[in-house]
Chains A and B, each alone.
Chain A
Amino acid sequence: MPLFDRLYNFAHWLTQDREEAEDLVQETYAKALKGFRSFQPGTNFRAWIYQILRNTFLTSRTGSKATATVPLELESDDEVLPVASDTPESILLQRSDQQLVQEALDRLPVPYREVLLLCEFEEMSYQEISATLGVPMGTVMSRLSRARRALRNTVQHLQKN
Chain B
Amino acid sequence: MACERWTEKLDAYADGELPAAEARELDEHLRGCASCAAEGLRKVQLKRAVQAAGQKFTPDPAFRNRIQRSIAAPRSSSWKRRWLPVVVTAMAAVLIASAFLLTQSQRRGERQLMSELVDQHVATLASSNPVDVVSTDRHTVKPWFEGKIPFTFNLPELQGSPFALAGGRVAYVKQSPGAELIFRIRQHQISVFIFQERALEGAGGSESARTALSFEVRSWCRNGLCYFVIGDAGAQDLGQLAELLKAAG
In the bound complex, residues from chain B placing their C-beta under 8 Å from that of A12 are: 56-57
Instruction: Answer yes or no: B64 CB below 8 A from chain A CBs.
Output: yes
In the bound complex, residues from chain B placing their C-beta under 8 Å from that of A119 are: 15
Shortest B112–chain A CB gap in Å is: 37
| Contact yes or no, A9 B57, CB < 8 A | yes
| Contact yes or no, A98 B42, CB < 8 A | no
| Contact yes or no, B59 A25, CB < 8 A | yes
Alpha-carbon gap, A95 to B49, bound state (A):
8
Number of A-B contacts (CB under 8 A): 99
Chain B residue at minimum C-beta to C-beta distance from A88: B38
Instruction: Answer yes or no: A21 CB below 8 A from chain B CBs.
Output: yes
Q: Indicate whether A5 sits within 8 Å of B11 (C-beta atoms), given known contacts A88-B38, A116-B50, A121-B51.
A: no
Instruction: Answer yes or no: B94 CB below 8 A from chain A CBs.
Output: no
The 0/1 profile, CB within 8 Å of A marked 1, for residues 36-79 of chain B is 00110111011111111111111110011011101100100000
Q: Indicate whether A98 sits within 8 Å of B11 (C-beta atoms), given known contacts A4-B67, A26-B70.
A: no
> Which of A56-64, A66-74, A141-149 is the contact stretch?
A141-149
In the bound complex, residues from chain A placing their C-beta under 8 Å from that of B54 are: 9, 13, 117, 120-122
* Option from A33, A99, A126, A152 in Cβ contact (under 8 Å) with B46: A152
| Contact yes or no, B58 A126, CB < 8 A | no
Chain A residue at minimum C-beta to C-beta distance from B63: A22
In the bound complex, residues from chain A placing their C-beta under 8 Å from that of B68 are: 1
Instruction: Answer yes or no: B17 CB below 8 A from chain A CBs.
Output: yes
Instruction: Answer yes or no: A91 CB below 8 A from chain B CBs.
Output: yes
In the bound complex, residues from chain A placing their C-beta under 8 Å from that of B60 are: 18, 22
Instruction: Answer yes or no: A125 CB below 8 A from chain B CBs.
Output: yes
| Contact yes or no, A101 B50, CB < 8 A | yes
The 0/1 profile, CB within 8 Å of B marked 1, for residues 99-143 of chain A is 101100100000000001101111101100000000000000100
Instruction: Answer yes or no: A151 CB below 8 A from chain B CBs.
Output: yes
Instruction: Answer yes or no: B12 CB below 8 A from chain A CBs.
Output: yes
| Contact yes or no, B59 A4, CB < 8 A | yes
* Option from B42, B56, B71 in Cβ contact (under 8 Å) with A29: B71
Shortest A122–chain B CB gap in Å is: 8
In the bound complex, residues from chain A placing their C-beta under 8 Å from that of B70 are: 26, 29-30
| Contact yes or no, A126 B57, CB < 8 A | no
Alpha-carbon gap, A123 to B14, bound state (A):
12
In the bound complex, residues from chain A placing their C-beta under 8 Å from that of B39 are: 88
In the bound complex, residues from chain A placing their C-beta under 8 Å from that of B57 are: 8-9, 12-13, 18, 21
Binding site for B on A (CB under 8 A): 1, 4-5, 8-9, 12-13, 18, 21-22, 25-26, 29-30, 33, 88, 91-93, 95, 97-99, 101-102, 105, 116-117, 119-123, 125-126, 141, 144-145, 148, 151-152
List 19 A-B residue pairs with CB atoms under 8 Å apart, sorted by A's residue number. Answer: A9-B56, A9-B58, A12-B56, A21-B57, A25-B63, A33-B74, A91-B42, A92-B45, A93-B46, A99-B53, A101-B49, A101-B52, A116-B50, A120-B47, A121-B50, A126-B12, A148-B43, A148-B46, A152-B46
- Nearest 3 CB-CB pairs, A to B? A121-B54, A12-B57, A120-B50
Q: What would 12 more interface pairs be, CB under 8 Å, given A1-B71, A123-B51?
A: A4-B67, A8-B58, A8-B63, A18-B60, A22-B59, A26-B67, A30-B70, A33-B71, A33-B74, A99-B53, A102-B53, A116-B50
